[in-house]
Amino acid sequence: MEGRKVTLKDLATRAGLSANTISRALKDKEDIAVATRQMIKELAKEMGYVGNALAGSLRSGLTKTIAVIVSDVANPHFGIMVKEIEKSARKHNYTIFIINTEDDYEMEELAIYTAIGKNVDAIIICPSQRGTDNIRFLQKNGVPFVLIGRRFKEEPEFDYVICDDEKGGYLATKHLIDSGHKRVLFLNGPIRISSAQERLEGYRRAHEEAGLPVHEDLIVEVGASAGDTRLIVKQLIEQEAQFTGIFAFNDVIAWETAYVLNKYGYRIPEDYAVIGFDNIQSRIFIPFQLSSVSNSKGKMSKRAVDIVLHKINHPESEQKFNEIIDTKLVLRESTK
Protein backbone atom coordinates (compact mmCIF):
# COMPACT_ATOMS: atom_id res chain seq x y z
CA MET A 1 0.00 0.00 0.00
CA GLU A 2 3.09 2.20 0.02
CA GLY A 3 2.71 5.35 -2.09
CA ARG A 4 -1.08 5.42 -1.71
CA LYS A 5 -3.12 7.09 1.02
CA VAL A 6 -4.70 4.61 3.42
CA THR A 7 -8.50 4.82 3.49
CA LEU A 8 -11.25 3.74 5.89
CA LYS A 9 -12.07 0.97 3.41
CA ASP A 10 -8.49 -0.35 3.69
CA LEU A 11 -8.82 -0.45 7.49
CA ALA A 12 -12.19 -2.15 7.25
CA THR A 13 -10.84 -4.82 4.87
CA ARG A 14 -7.86 -5.57 7.15
CA ALA A 15 -9.99 -5.65 10.32
CA GLY A 16 -12.86 -7.58 8.76
CA LEU A 17 -15.34 -4.95 9.90
CA SER A 18 -17.59 -2.43 8.20
CA ALA A 19 -16.30 1.04 7.30
CA ASN A 20 -19.01 2.52 9.54
CA THR A 21 -17.76 0.52 12.54
CA ILE A 22 -14.20 1.63 11.84
CA SER A 23 -15.31 5.27 11.59
CA ARG A 24 -17.30 5.14 14.83
CA ALA A 25 -14.44 3.43 16.68
CA LEU A 26 -11.96 6.10 15.61
CA LYS A 27 -14.40 8.73 16.92
CA ASP A 28 -14.58 6.92 20.28
CA LYS A 29 -18.31 6.26 19.97
CA GLU A 30 -19.50 4.37 23.05
CA ASP A 31 -21.58 1.85 21.10
CA ILE A 32 -18.29 0.27 19.98
CA ALA A 33 -16.59 -1.93 22.60
CA VAL A 34 -13.53 -0.41 24.27
CA ALA A 35 -11.31 -3.35 23.20
CA THR A 36 -12.51 -3.00 19.59
CA ARG A 37 -11.84 0.74 19.62
CA GLN A 38 -8.32 0.16 20.91
CA MET A 39 -7.61 -2.55 18.34
CA ILE A 40 -8.81 -0.34 15.48
CA LYS A 41 -6.75 2.66 16.68
CA GLU A 42 -3.62 0.51 16.85
CA LEU A 43 -4.33 -0.88 13.39
CA ALA A 44 -4.84 2.64 12.02
CA LYS A 45 -1.50 3.71 13.46
CA GLU A 46 0.23 0.62 12.08
CA MET A 47 -1.18 1.20 8.59
CA GLY A 48 -0.54 4.97 8.62
CA TYR A 49 -4.17 6.05 8.46
CA VAL A 50 -4.99 9.75 9.01
CA GLY A 51 -8.60 10.97 9.06
CA ASN A 52 -9.85 13.39 6.41
CA ALA A 53 -10.32 16.67 8.29
CA LEU A 54 -11.86 18.32 5.22
CA ALA A 55 -14.59 15.70 4.99
CA GLY A 56 -15.27 16.15 8.70
CA SER A 57 -15.49 19.91 8.31
CA LEU A 58 -17.99 19.56 5.46
CA ARG A 59 -20.22 17.55 7.78
CA SER A 60 -19.85 19.78 10.86
CA GLY A 61 -19.40 23.15 9.16
CA LEU A 62 -16.23 23.70 11.22
CA THR A 63 -12.58 23.20 10.24
CA LYS A 64 -11.34 23.42 13.86
CA THR A 65 -8.69 25.91 12.74
CA ILE A 66 -7.90 29.46 13.84
CA ALA A 67 -5.69 31.81 11.82
CA VAL A 68 -3.28 33.97 13.82
CA ILE A 69 -2.11 37.04 11.89
CA VAL A 70 0.81 38.97 13.39
CA SER A 71 3.22 41.62 12.17
CA ASP A 72 6.59 40.07 13.03
CA VAL A 73 6.86 36.53 14.35
CA ALA A 74 10.65 37.02 14.61
CA ASN A 75 10.03 39.37 17.55
CA PRO A 76 10.08 37.11 20.65
CA HIS A 77 7.04 38.99 21.96
CA PHE A 78 4.91 37.65 19.10
CA GLY A 79 6.62 34.26 19.24
CA ILE A 80 5.64 33.85 22.89
CA MET A 81 2.12 35.11 22.21
CA VAL A 82 1.61 32.68 19.32
CA LYS A 83 2.83 29.80 21.50
CA GLU A 84 0.31 30.75 24.20
CA ILE A 85 -2.50 31.00 21.64
CA GLU A 86 -1.59 27.57 20.24
CA LYS A 87 -1.47 26.02 23.72
CA SER A 88 -4.88 27.46 24.62
CA ALA A 89 -6.46 26.50 21.28
CA ARG A 90 -5.10 22.94 21.53
CA LYS A 91 -7.03 22.40 24.77
CA HIS A 92 -10.20 22.90 22.74
CA ASN A 93 -8.99 20.61 19.91
CA TYR A 94 -8.27 23.55 17.63
CA THR A 95 -5.24 23.93 15.38
CA ILE A 96 -3.77 27.33 14.54
CA PHE A 97 -1.80 28.50 11.56
CA ILE A 98 0.29 31.65 11.53
CA ILE A 99 0.57 34.33 8.86
CA ASN A 100 3.26 37.00 9.14
CA THR A 101 2.45 40.42 7.61
CA GLU A 102 5.73 42.26 8.29
CA ASP A 103 3.46 45.12 9.44
CA ASP A 104 2.57 45.74 5.78
CA TYR A 105 -1.02 46.76 4.96
CA GLU A 106 -1.22 44.93 1.62
CA MET A 107 0.29 41.78 3.12
CA GLU A 108 -2.25 42.04 5.92
CA GLU A 109 -5.06 42.18 3.35
CA LEU A 110 -3.64 39.13 1.57
CA ALA A 111 -3.31 37.31 4.92
CA ILE A 112 -6.99 37.92 5.68
CA TYR A 113 -8.06 36.70 2.22
CA THR A 114 -5.84 33.61 2.60
CA ALA A 115 -7.26 32.79 6.04
CA ILE A 116 -10.87 33.19 4.90
CA GLY A 117 -10.12 31.17 1.76
CA LYS A 118 -8.98 28.29 3.95
CA ASN A 119 -12.33 28.36 5.75
CA VAL A 120 -10.86 29.04 9.19
CA ASP A 121 -13.40 29.17 11.99
CA ALA A 122 -11.94 32.41 13.40
CA ILE A 123 -9.09 34.91 13.13
CA ILE A 124 -6.93 36.44 15.86
CA ILE A 125 -5.12 39.45 14.42
CA CYS A 126 -2.62 42.07 15.56
CA PRO A 127 -3.50 44.80 13.05
CA SER A 128 -0.93 46.95 11.24
CA GLN A 129 -3.19 49.97 11.89
CA ARG A 130 -2.38 51.67 8.59
CA GLY A 131 -6.14 51.86 8.06
CA THR A 132 -9.38 50.11 9.01
CA ASP A 133 -10.48 48.74 5.62
CA ASN A 134 -8.95 45.30 6.22
CA ILE A 135 -10.74 44.90 9.55
CA ARG A 136 -13.98 46.25 8.10
CA PHE A 137 -13.73 43.60 5.37
CA LEU A 138 -13.39 40.96 8.09
CA GLN A 139 -16.45 42.37 9.81
CA LYS A 140 -18.52 42.30 6.60
CA ASN A 141 -17.39 38.77 5.78
CA GLY A 142 -18.77 37.51 9.09
CA VAL A 143 -15.84 35.36 10.18
CA PRO A 144 -15.40 35.64 13.98
CA PHE A 145 -12.32 37.69 14.87
CA VAL A 146 -10.65 39.56 17.71
CA LEU A 147 -7.82 42.09 17.70
CA ILE A 148 -4.91 41.34 20.01
CA GLY A 149 -2.34 43.81 21.35
CA ARG A 150 -3.75 46.81 19.47
CA ARG A 151 -7.14 48.50 19.14
CA PHE A 152 -8.92 51.18 17.14
CA LYS A 153 -10.21 53.56 19.80
CA GLU A 154 -12.49 55.23 17.30
CA GLU A 155 -13.97 51.85 16.30
CA PRO A 156 -15.15 50.27 19.60
CA GLU A 157 -17.27 47.73 17.70
CA PHE A 158 -14.07 45.85 16.83
CA ASP A 159 -13.53 43.34 19.66
CA TYR A 160 -10.07 43.48 21.20
CA VAL A 161 -7.83 42.24 23.99
CA ILE A 162 -4.94 44.56 24.85
CA CYS A 163 -2.73 45.30 27.81
CA ASP A 164 -2.94 48.57 29.76
CA ASP A 165 -0.39 50.39 27.61
CA GLU A 166 -1.01 53.80 29.19
CA LYS A 167 -0.36 52.42 32.67
CA GLY A 168 2.74 50.58 31.43
CA GLY A 169 4.18 53.77 29.91
CA TYR A 170 3.38 55.64 33.10
CA LEU A 171 4.99 53.06 35.42
CA ALA A 172 8.19 52.83 33.36
CA THR A 173 8.62 56.60 33.10
CA LYS A 174 7.66 57.22 36.74
CA HIS A 175 10.29 54.73 37.92
CA LEU A 176 13.00 56.47 35.90
CA ILE A 177 11.93 59.90 37.16
CA ASP A 178 11.70 58.68 40.77
CA SER A 179 15.23 57.27 40.37
CA GLY A 180 16.52 60.77 39.61
CA HIS A 181 16.36 60.85 35.81
CA LYS A 182 14.93 64.26 34.89
CA ARG A 183 15.46 63.82 31.14
CA VAL A 184 14.00 60.53 29.90
CA LEU A 185 14.42 59.50 26.27
CA PHE A 186 11.37 57.68 24.90
CA LEU A 187 12.19 55.47 21.91
CA ASN A 188 8.61 54.94 20.76
CA GLY A 189 7.13 52.71 18.07
CA PRO A 190 5.27 54.04 15.01
CA ILE A 191 2.68 56.50 16.35
CA ARG A 192 -0.09 55.06 14.13
CA ILE A 193 -0.12 52.07 16.51
CA SER A 194 -2.52 52.36 19.45
CA SER A 195 0.00 50.93 21.91
CA ALA A 196 2.55 53.60 20.90
CA GLN A 197 -0.04 56.34 21.38
CA GLU A 198 -1.11 55.04 24.78
CA ARG A 199 2.40 54.42 26.09
CA LEU A 200 3.19 58.00 25.11
CA GLU A 201 0.16 59.16 27.11
CA GLY A 202 1.59 57.32 30.13
CA TYR A 203 5.01 58.91 29.55
CA ARG A 204 3.42 62.36 29.52
CA ARG A 205 1.30 61.65 32.62
CA ALA A 206 4.36 60.63 34.63
CA HIS A 207 6.08 63.92 33.72
CA GLU A 208 3.01 65.97 34.53
CA GLU A 209 2.58 64.25 37.90
CA ALA A 210 6.25 64.90 38.74
CA GLY A 211 5.99 68.55 37.68
CA LEU A 212 8.59 68.04 34.96
CA PRO A 213 8.39 69.45 31.42
CA VAL A 214 8.11 67.01 28.53
CA HIS A 215 11.02 67.57 26.14
CA GLU A 216 9.55 66.82 22.72
CA ASP A 217 13.03 66.27 21.26
CA LEU A 218 13.38 63.28 23.61
CA ILE A 219 10.35 61.53 22.07
CA VAL A 220 11.74 59.69 19.07
CA GLU A 221 9.84 57.33 16.78
CA VAL A 222 11.76 54.20 15.86
CA GLY A 223 11.00 52.28 12.66
CA ALA A 224 10.34 48.56 12.58
CA SER A 225 13.28 47.71 10.30
CA ALA A 226 16.33 45.99 11.73
CA GLY A 227 19.04 48.51 12.52
CA ASP A 228 16.76 51.55 12.84
CA THR A 229 17.23 51.73 16.61
CA ARG A 230 21.00 51.39 16.40
CA LEU A 231 21.21 54.22 13.86
CA ILE A 232 18.99 56.55 15.90
CA VAL A 233 20.80 55.91 19.21
CA LYS A 234 24.17 56.36 17.49
CA GLN A 235 23.02 59.76 16.15
CA LEU A 236 21.72 60.84 19.56
CA ILE A 237 25.02 59.98 21.24
CA GLU A 238 27.08 61.76 18.57
CA GLN A 239 24.81 64.81 18.87
CA GLU A 240 25.39 64.73 22.64
CA ALA A 241 21.66 64.71 23.33
CA GLN A 242 20.98 65.19 27.03
CA PHE A 243 19.25 62.25 28.72
CA THR A 244 20.12 59.64 31.34
CA GLY A 245 17.01 57.46 31.43
CA ILE A 246 15.68 55.50 28.45
CA PHE A 247 12.22 54.03 28.05
CA ALA A 248 11.92 51.80 24.97
CA PHE A 249 8.67 50.85 23.22
CA ASN A 250 9.64 47.18 23.41
CA ASP A 251 12.41 44.92 24.70
CA VAL A 252 13.98 44.44 21.26
CA ILE A 253 14.46 48.22 20.94
CA ALA A 254 15.84 48.31 24.50
CA TRP A 255 18.33 45.53 23.75
CA GLU A 256 19.53 47.27 20.57
CA THR A 257 19.89 50.52 22.54
CA ALA A 258 21.99 48.79 25.18
CA TYR A 259 24.15 47.28 22.44
CA VAL A 260 24.99 50.72 21.00
CA LEU A 261 25.63 52.27 24.41
CA ASN A 262 28.03 49.45 25.27
CA LYS A 263 29.80 49.90 21.94
CA TYR A 264 30.44 53.53 22.89
CA GLY A 265 31.81 52.48 26.26
CA TYR A 266 28.83 53.50 28.37
CA ARG A 267 27.69 51.38 31.29
CA ILE A 268 24.15 50.33 32.18
CA PRO A 269 22.77 51.34 34.64
CA GLU A 270 25.66 53.52 35.88
CA ASP A 271 25.63 55.89 32.88
CA TYR A 272 22.18 55.18 31.44
CA ALA A 273 19.16 53.40 32.93
CA VAL A 274 17.08 51.41 30.42
CA ILE A 275 13.53 50.02 30.63
CA GLY A 276 11.81 48.01 27.90
CA PHE A 277 8.27 46.73 27.39
CA ASP A 278 6.99 43.12 26.96
CA ASN A 279 9.05 41.41 29.71
CA ILE A 280 10.42 38.86 27.26
CA GLN A 281 12.94 37.75 29.89
CA SER A 282 10.13 36.13 31.82
CA ARG A 283 10.46 33.37 29.18
CA ILE A 284 13.93 33.82 27.67
CA PHE A 285 16.96 34.06 29.94
CA ILE A 286 19.85 36.11 28.60
CA PRO A 287 22.85 37.63 30.44
CA PHE A 288 21.66 41.24 30.10
CA GLN A 289 19.03 41.71 32.81
CA LEU A 290 16.55 44.22 31.38
CA SER A 291 13.91 46.00 33.46
CA SER A 292 10.63 45.83 31.57
CA VAL A 293 6.87 46.27 31.68
CA SER A 294 5.04 42.95 31.85
CA ASN A 295 1.99 42.86 29.58
CA SER A 296 0.60 39.44 30.50
CA LYS A 297 1.00 37.77 27.10
CA GLY A 298 -0.39 34.52 28.50
CA LYS A 299 -3.60 36.17 29.76
CA MET A 300 -4.09 38.16 26.55
CA SER A 301 -3.60 35.06 24.41
CA LYS A 302 -5.96 32.90 26.46
CA ARG A 303 -8.66 35.57 26.43
CA ALA A 304 -8.32 36.01 22.66
CA VAL A 305 -8.92 32.29 22.16
CA ASP A 306 -11.83 32.28 24.64
CA ILE A 307 -13.45 35.20 22.80
CA VAL A 308 -13.26 33.67 19.31
CA LEU A 309 -14.50 30.32 20.64
CA HIS A 310 -17.47 32.12 22.18
CA LYS A 311 -18.15 33.77 18.83
CA ILE A 312 -17.86 30.42 16.99
CA ASN A 313 -20.16 28.61 19.42
CA HIS A 314 -22.66 31.46 19.85
CA PRO A 315 -22.94 33.11 16.42
CA GLU A 316 -26.18 34.82 17.46
CA SER A 317 -24.53 36.57 20.44
CA GLU A 318 -24.10 40.34 20.24
CA GLN A 319 -21.79 40.52 23.26
CA LYS A 320 -18.91 42.98 22.83
CA PHE A 321 -15.39 42.31 24.08
CA ASN A 322 -13.23 45.35 24.83
CA GLU A 323 -10.76 43.98 27.36
CA ILE A 324 -7.71 45.59 28.92
CA ILE A 325 -5.29 43.34 30.85
CA ASP A 326 -3.27 44.89 33.67
CA THR A 327 0.43 45.74 33.32
CA LYS A 328 3.15 45.83 35.95
CA LEU A 329 6.77 46.90 36.19
CA VAL A 330 9.45 44.20 36.57
CA LEU A 331 12.75 45.68 37.77
CA ARG A 332 16.11 44.13 36.96
CA GLU A 333 19.74 45.25 36.75
CA SER A 334 19.35 47.71 33.86
CA THR A 335 17.79 50.34 36.15
CA LYS A 336 19.43 49.62 39.52
Q: What is the DSSP string of 170-227?
A: HHHHHHHHHTT-SSEEEEE--TTSHHHHHHHHHHHHHHHHHT----GGGEEE--SSTT
pLDDT greater at residue 59 or residue 254 = 254
- Mean residue pLDDT of the chain comes to 92
Over residues 103-125, mean pLDDT:
94
φ/ψ (deg, to 5) at 234? -60, -45
Which has more confidence, 315 or 187? 187
At 14, which CATH number?
A: 1.10.260
**Does residue 133 sit in the same domain as residue 195?**
no
Q: Do residues 268 and 205 both lie within one domain?
A: yes
Rounded to an integer, the average pLDDT of 191-197 is 96
Contact 247, 189 (CB under 8 A): no
Residue 142 and residue 38 share a domain: no
Q: For residue range 117-159, list pLDDT tens digits in order.
A: 998 999 999 999 999 999 999 998 889 999 999 999 888 899 9
Q: Point out the least confidently predicted range of 150-159, 199-208, 209-218.
A: 150-159
Inside any domain, residue 1? no
Whether residue 170 sits in one domain with residue 288: yes
Amino acid at 326: D
What does 54-69 look like in DSSP terms, one character per residue? HHHHHHHS---EEEEE
* In a domain? residue 99: yes
Question: In this structure, are 16 and 93 located in the same domain?
Answer: no
Looking at the structure of the chain, the number of domains it has is 3
Average pLDDT over every residue of 108-113: 95
Whether 2 maps to a domain, the answer reads no
Residues 170 and 282 in one domain: yes
Same domain, 71 and 140: yes
Same domain for 43 and 95, yes or no, is: no
pLDDT of residue 3: 53
Domain extent, residue 238, equals 165-295+330-335
pLDDT confidence bin for 224, thresholds 50/70/90:
low
First-last CA distance in the chain: 66
The answer on pLDDT for 4 being more than 80 is no
pLDDT band at 73 (very low <50, low <70, confident <90, very high): confident
For residue 258, tell me if it sits in a domain.
yes
d(CA 127, CA 159): 12
User: What mean pLDDT comes out for the span 261-277?
Assistant: 96
pLDDT value of residue 1: 47
Are residues 138 and 94 part of one domain? yes
Higher pLDDT, 51 or 219: 219
